[in-house]
A and B are shown apart, each in its own frame.
Chain A
Amino acid sequence: MRSDQFSGLMLLLLALYLGWQNRAYPVGSLQEPGPGYMPLLLAVFLGATGLLIALWGGKSKPLAAIRWSGAMRALVIMVASAVGAFALEHIGYRITVIALLIFFLGVIERRRPLPVLLVSFGFGLISFYVVGDLLHVPLPRSPWGF
């Protein structure tokens, strides 16, 4: 299978799902469109372009030629960021960012402990001071006030 054939079919599937979800909203008529009219039109448009990409995709690069060598690292970064996002409102900005940076620099990138600690604590504390204190953006704090 070719890359465009695969991605076009994925877009078609997404369009079908969105069209299915759109059943919940009245479509109305051509003269008097309801809240479901435009989403239905767009789902049809997305599905049609997806289908055309798949049909015209015979000369695109093979699906296997797409290199996913960095995908595992990307996935770990995403999961760590998601955990960090979840922690942000529970343990506050500073602790979350410091922990996140220690994880990225120390565990994923395997850097030496001293620079890891300096960068993590330095970035976490200075960015909070600049954005939170100087620019008055209300950043989340931990239950302990830190």
Chain B
Amino acid sequence: MLETFNNLLLGFSVALSPSVLVYAFVGCIIGTLVGMMPGLGPLAGISLLLPATFGLNPIIAIVLLSGVYYGAMYGGSTTSILMRIPGEAASVMTCVDGYAMTQNGRAGPALAIAAIGSFIAGTAGVVGLMLLAPTLAEFALRFGPPEYTALLMMGLFILAYMSGGSMLKTLAMAGLGLMLGMIGIDAMSGYTRFSFDLVELGDGVGIVPVAVGLFGISEILLTAGQDAAPKVQNPKLHDLIPSREEFRLSVGPIARGSLLGFMIGIIPGSAHIISSFVSYGIERRMSKHPERFGKGAIEGVAGPESANNAAASGAFVPMMALGIPTSPVTAVMIAAIMVHGISPGPLLISQQPELFWGFVASMYVGNVVLLVLNLPMVGLFVNLLRIPYAYLYPCILAFCILGTYSVSNSMIDVWIMLIMGGIGYVLRKFDYDLAPVALGLVLSPMLELSLRQSLAMSAGDYGIFLERPIATTMLGLGVLLFLLSIKPLIFKSKDWRSKVGLDEVEG
């Protein structure tokens, strides 16, 4: 514990240096704005900002990008509460009761509870990250290719189990993403696969063009038809203070949302989105007056907002400790760190302590910045929402082209972005979740390489996965979850979504 405390002090010495502090501040502001704008979620925002971090030192780069991430988590709630427009997908549940509270004249307390819940959950998530990541990294030093294969397989099984919508559709999208990851030179044989004679595809398909296309461009294509700027309420500072009763009702949902969000954040998938759905469902189930939900229940704001912020912190645990992204956002952030010649993984924390602990400390700072800055400035930020979308989307589109091109100065990336935008548009029309595509793309080369390395180690004997206890446990757990996830399909029974009331919520 003393070592953790000393490391945290080291982290704060890095995070409180003026340059890091300024970038954390800038990241939080940009994140808030990005989260508020429909069409620019945290993923697109981070992807667009990625080229700008190439000239920065790695600590500043990761602090800036993580500031954008949790800033966007916060910003999304503002539009959800004031306008019933989720700035990003994780804020969908906040729309339900947040906007109802606005209609009841309680927009201020809804915004305040969302901010306080986000702050508490974000801070609790950082404590979890701080305690869990070093332990996990130490454990992961025992991992060889079979363990990594088992871990990645388990991740995919969990993705299927935890999918927010149809499990089959999630699996199909993961398969599509894994297939995209096959494009390019095969690391073990040197064969160039599915490159269609394009030299640029030899290095494979990058996560940034795919992510910006799937999430940014497709959103623009879906929403470009909107006309006038919607009516926006502008709450005053003195209206923000919640009543004693609202505080009392929010304590439980914030605590449960923080814990639940962090745990869901660690596992693969659209964790921050799923966590907010599950939290809402649980709060409604636990409430003595579930009929209040949908009509302005503050628990419906406190729970999901806390959960999605805690999930954002939880997602950093496997990213930092194992070097494995569990969400498209962390995949892009890994790309940002790797540009600087640093590979996230078990050795990162011991070899680059100032980076890891500086990052952890900056998250504490970022959460405070978000709380003290955003609540008083909410009136200023909402002015952005008065800009008609007809003016906003062409500029966002230009940003998408600019950001994607800048990553590797490649026109092929821009074409990939546009193609993925078109594909994302069609897939969303057919109710497919796009996050597994981005996740599959990143996990695919790792999975293939570790599988083939494992078989090379065992002279082609698949028994290697059953001889090593860690690999066997992970595979066993993955298969068990997979069987649980297909049970409702076969026996027509209820799964976890129905049990927490998620089906009714989605309906």
Contact = CB atoms under 8 A, between A and B. Distances in A.
Interface of A: 3-4, 6-8, 11, 14, 18, 21, 25-26, 29-36, 38-39, 42-43, 45-46, 49-50, 52-53, 56, 66, 68-70, 73-74, 77-78, 81-82, 84-85, 88-89, 93, 97, 100-101, 104-105, 109, 111, 115, 119, 123-124, 127, 131, 135-140
Interface magnitude class on chain B: 35 or more
B189 to A, nearest CB: 4
Nearest to A52: B168
Contact of A100 (B398, B406, B409): B398
A53 B178 contact: no
Contacts of B246: none
B482 interface: no
B169 A33 contact: no
| Residue of B55, B176, B447 most packed against chain A (CB within 10 A) | B176
Interface string B404-436: 011001010011001001100101011110000
Contacts of B461: 31
A29 B461 CA distance: 12
Nearest to B421: A78
Contact of B224 (A36, A56, A74): A74
Contacts of B425: 74
B175 interface: yes
A115 B388 CA distance: 12
A34 to B, nearest CB: 7
A53 B194 contact: no
A96 to B, nearest CB: 8
Given A49-B172, A70-B225, A101-B395, 5 more contacts: A31-B459, A32-B460, A46-B176, A70-B224, A84-B401
B284 to A, nearest CB: 25
Contact of B460 (A31, A49, A105): A31
A78 B393 CA distance: 13
Interface in B470-489: 489
26 contacts: A3-B430, A7-B432, A14-B176, A25-B186, A25-B191, A31-B459, A31-B461, A32-B460, A33-B452, A34-B189, A35-B193, A42-B175, A45-B175, A46-B172, A46-B175, A46-B176, A69-B225, A70-B224, A73-B224, A85-B418, A100-B394, A119-B395, A123-B395, A131-B51, A135-B51, A138-B409
Given A49-B171, A49-B172, A101-B398, A30 B418 contact: no
Given A49-B172, A101-B394, A85 B401 contact: yes
B390 interface: yes
Contacts of A34: 189
A68 B222 CA distance: 10
| Residue of A42, A97, A138 most packed against chain B (CB within 10 A) | A42
A88 B412 CA distance: 12
A73 B227 CA distance: 13
Interface string B155-186: 00000000000101101100110110010001
Given A32-B455, A101-B395, A105-B394, A53 B169 contact: yes
A105 B390 contact: yes
A61 B395 CA distance: 35
A29 B175 CA distance: 21
B179 A46 contact: yes
Top-9 shortest CB links A-B: A31-B460, A104-B394, A74-B221, A35-B191, A49-B172, A35-B186, A46-B175, A109-B390, A85-B414
B224 A127 contact: no
Contact of B390 (A84, A93, A111): A111
B179 A139 contact: no
B432 A21 contact: no
A109 B395 CA distance: 13
A39 B402 contact: no
B139 interface: no
A83 B22 CA distance: 38
